[in-house]
Structure 1
Amino acid sequence: MPHLAVARFWFEGNSFTPTPTTREAFASREWVSGTEAIARYRGTGTELGGLAGFLDANAGWTADVILSLSAQPGGPLTKDIVPGWLETVTGALARGGYDAVYLSLHGGGCAEDDPAPELTILRAVRAATKGVPLGVSFDIHGNLAPEIASLMDCASAYRTHPHIDMAETAGRVLAMLDATVAGRISPVVAIAKVPKVIHSFHMRSEAGPMAELWAEAEEEEVGPILDASPFGGFSWGDTPFAGPSILVTADRDRRAAQAVADRLAASLSAKIAAGRFSVTLPTPEAALETALAAPPGLVAVLDPADNPLSGGIADTPGVLRALLARAPDVPVLFAFLHDAETVEAARAAGLGGALTRPLAARHTVAFGPPVTVAATVERLTEGRFVNEGPMERGAPVDLGPTCVLRVGTVRVIVTSRREAAIDPGFFALHGIDLGATRLIVNKAKNHFRAAFASRLAALVECDSPGPAALDLLGLPFRHVPASWRTP
């Protein structure tokens, strides 16, 4: 009976986010192991959900989840996190008894002392596996070091953006590991890099240049080519390996794998050169005017520069200031601010209580000063819900204590923990009737579309100061050449 070792380290790092990512960010989101990990995520739209599905469908396999960690994207990891995870994982692997190893990695991490932690992880895991087949799943926003091609036997990445195929991606990797252990294939990996850093606004899978590239990659999956996975990279990860890449797994034929990777990289380079990934965004004021002039129904203005899923801090004041200055005479929801102190003040004031205090810029004033408001406490919650999907469907979320403040016609959600407002469950928790709401202003980007694009009469993105702002040329990169960065 084949025995599988499983470990997960899922984190996307924004090198320019002013607050580091600590152990608490993982402990509050996902820090599980053993049978608890499989039971917790069984039936969910996650990699561990995909693992549970694989085990259910392949009764001959058993699995040991050594340690599974996940945190929301954020600032660089503190120095203790990767070494602590590696000590646990490599210690278990070194004891042996496994027929294959599956890693769930993001690929776009960064740490205070390491600009490429996934490379560090793969080197250590490969050394500990002693030739045991190793398969890896990635997010398409991974910044891949070419060296990792020699450190894995097989790999795959998400093929949707928003990412609603996490479980399916795990399934593809596990199927390749199953075939490897059974002796049906002998996989090899090749990588081709594109020396450019591009934004992800046009990486969505419903249409556009990335959707076209995914279709091209699927057509290449014939003969010895087992998997062809395009990566867009993560714009705000300051690593020598930043930018797009193509990862290909083939059965035995490394030359064929490299040829496919090179062809797809050339196609991606041509799309970049043609401006297919270029983007310009309006100011918050202009975006609000456009949204409010849209046909009747729910409309949204997004603030991607402070999107938590791009490493944003959910604390920048620019869009909130513009919204309150505009003072729409329709029901408005602002989602959200990460500010545990304001939540505590709201709980002290109680439901219906009055509260005057500064909002936003509570963690840093680097992106502008706070906005002082006079508000009424409208709702208090403990911050727990389960994702309704489609992204990470069924996964539990813990925001910590939260509140809803009313400032005129604007409701403002404030949370104690920084978890993106991209799931219907987030809004249901706070008693928000979206059918009675005209405008959502959200610190979000592409992933918000998965559950809400079909419900909106209009969606407008804007640019404002923040950790994930549009202008890459103005950021203090140390490892990425300026010629790689798009203006």
Structure 2
Amino acid sequence: MPNIAVARLWFEGNSFSPTPTEADALRSREWVSGAEALVRYAGTGTELGGLARFVEARPDWRATILRCTSAQPGGPLTRAAFEGWLDEVLHGLREGAPWDGVYLSLHGACVAENVPAADLHIIQQVRGVIGTTPLTASFDFHGNMAPELATLLDGASVYRTYPHLDMDATALRALTMLERRMDGTRLYGAIEKLPRVLHSFHMRSEAGPMAEVWAEAAALEDDVVLEAAPFGGFSWGDTPFAGPSGMAWATTAEAATRAAKAVIGAIETRLPRFDVTLPGPRAALATALSAPPGLVALLDPADNPLSGGVADSPGLLRALVEAAPGVPTVFAFLHDPDSVAAARAAGQGAEARFTLGGRTTADFGPPVAVTATVERLTEGRFTNEGPMERGAPVDLGPTAVLVVGDWLRIIITSRKEAAVDPAFFALHGIDLTETRLLANKAKNHFRAAFAGRCAAIVECDCPGPAALDLAALPFRHVPAAWRS
């Protein structure tokens, strides 16, 4: 009976977020092990959902699920949070040995306070414990990949969609590589880098330059090249391995290197098409209001939680309040436990004064003071409708909906989880068919569920931890020339 070990740490670190990510952020989003993990995530569009499908199809296999956890992107993991997870996993690997194989579900852009290239460190430590035992991993498309990973792993796979709709399929590919290695077939890996840091606005998989790269990579795959795919990198991860990569796995070293070089070359030939400029919030608001009838999304990617934003910067909210367009508007969202507590104390239907945004830091602008009515209170729990992370449970903690005037609804939450699923809005009683303007701290992942629902999507650049101007950020590990 093949016996494999599984562990997971899915976290994308924004080195410039004003607050570190504590262990509580991991525990509140996903903190499972043992049989519970497969039961909870079976049938979901996640890596653990893919694992459940893989094991179900192989009843003679045994999968021991060590600690699996994830958190929304944010400031670097604290040393205690990172080392606590790693120590638990390494202990489990030692105690359960010998293993026939090990599978890791990682991100690729994890940053910890004490380790700027945390995914590389994890794999080095795991390899040190398990020796020559077959080891594969799956990664997010936004991984900042170290070339050394190709020599430490026996196979790896990466998301091939953005928004990320193939998490489960990616896990299945990595697990299939593990099975091949356990059966005695050796694969050779290669990772090629491009010394540039690119924004991901034009990296969607349905169209544009990165869609073309994915198509070229897919054409490289055959009986020899099992995996050929790009990584876009994560712009705000300050690591020596920042920037895009091409990764390939093949039955010969030469084929893997050739394919990885072809993938990174496909990105390099399209570099000018990845450039992006965005209007400020007032200009973007004017554009949104002039859009055709229907729901219009006005996005603030600089404070996007899925880019490590704090969901607390006030720039877009201030522009809305000052402009007072008067059309039915929803603002999603502010991560503000204190204001949620104040709303609950006041009670549903009560009117109160609230100070919103700018509570974590004043670096992105001062708070916005409003008089609002508490329209709705919730416990903050729902299940993703998808397509992204379909079926996964979400816990926002207690939440509230505040109404300013008769036109602006502001959602405030106790925990930071991106508003990219229709169930987020259904939880809060929001009828998007009756909404003209949806102002959201979001970027590309929002489009997975909402591109077809919106008459237009307008993006703007506000102050925030994931703002456009990389040259203004205090990088320590990424050369300035890579950010030009």
Q: What is the TM-score normalised by the length of structure 1?
A: 0.98
Deviates more, 1:77-86 or 1:121-130: 77-86
| Residue equivalent to 2:325 | 328
Deviates more, 1:126-135 or 1:338-347: 126-135
Separation in structure 2 between the aligned mates of residue 403 and residue 248 of structure 1, nearest angstrom: 47
C-alpha RMSD of the superposition: 0.8
1:150-177 CA distance string (max 9 Å, x none): 1100001000000010000001111111
Contact 2:199/2:235 (8 A) holds in 1: yes
Q: Which runs of 5+ in 2 are unaligned?
A: none
Separation in structure 2 between the aligned mates of residue 414 and residue 334 of structure 1, nearest angstrom: 9
Q: 1:417 aligns with which of 397, 406, 415?
A: 415
Q: Which runs of 5+ in 1 are unaligned?
A: none
Q: How does 1:15-414 map to 2 (within 5 A)?
A: 15-95=15-95, 96-183=97-184, 185-251=185-251, 253-272=252-271, 275-408=272-405, 409-414=407-412
Q: What is the TM-score normalised by the length of structure 2?
A: 0.99
Q: 2:439 aligns with which of 441, 449, 458?
A: 441
Separation in structure 2 between the aligned mates of residue 201 and residue 293 of structure 1, nearest angstrom: 23
4+ runs deviating over 2 angstroms: none
Identity of aligned residues (%): 63
1:6-40 CA distance string (max 9 Å, x none): 00010000000000000000010011100011111
Displacement of 1:147: 1.1
Separation in structure 2 between the aligned mates of residue 97 and residue 480 of structure 1, nearest angstrom: 40
Deviates more, 1:237-246 or 1:52-61: 52-61
Separation in structure 2 between the aligned mates of residue 232 and residue 48 of structure 1, nearest angstrom: 23
Matched, 1:462 2:460: yes
Deviates more, 1:80-89 or 1:314-323: 80-89
1:52-108 CA distance string (max 9 Å, x none): 011111222110111101000000110112222221212222231311100000000
Displacement of 1:467: 0.1
Separation in structure 2 between the aligned mates of residue 332 and residue 58 of structure 1, nearest angstrom: 50
Q: 2:451 aligns with which of 450, 453, 457?
A: 453
**What is the DSSP-based 3-state SS (H/G/I as helix, E as strand, rest coil) of the residue aligned with 1:426?**
helix
**Structure 1 residue identity aligned to 2:72:** Q
1:162-211 CA distance string (max 9 Å, x none): 0010000001111111122223x211211101100000001100001111
Separation in structure 1 between the aligned mates of residue 74 and residue 90 of structure 2, nearest angstrom: 25
**What is the DSSP-based 3-state SS (H/G/I as helix, E as strand, rest coil) of the residue aligned with 1:358?**
strand
| Residue equivalent to 1:482 | 480
Contact 2:202/2:209 (8 A) holds in 1: yes
- Residues matched between the structures, number: 482
1:415-472 CA distance string (max 9 Å, x none): 0000000000100000000111111000000000000000100000000100000000
**What is the DSSP-based 3-state SS (H/G/I as helix, E as strand, rest coil) of the residue aligned with 2:38?**
helix
Separation in structure 2 between the aligned mates of residue 357 and residue 66 of structure 1, nearest angstrom: 43
| Residue equivalent to 2:427 | 429
Separation in structure 1 between the aligned mates of residue 223 and residue 41 of structure 2, nearest angstrom: 34
Separation in structure 1 between the aligned mates of residue 223 and residue 345 of structure 2, nearest angstrom: 65
Displacement of 1:111: 1.2
**What is the DSSP-based 3-state SS (H/G/I as helix, E as strand, rest coil) of the residue aligned with 1:397?**
strand
Separation in structure 2 between the aligned mates of residue 94 and residue 189 of structure 1, nearest angstrom: 26
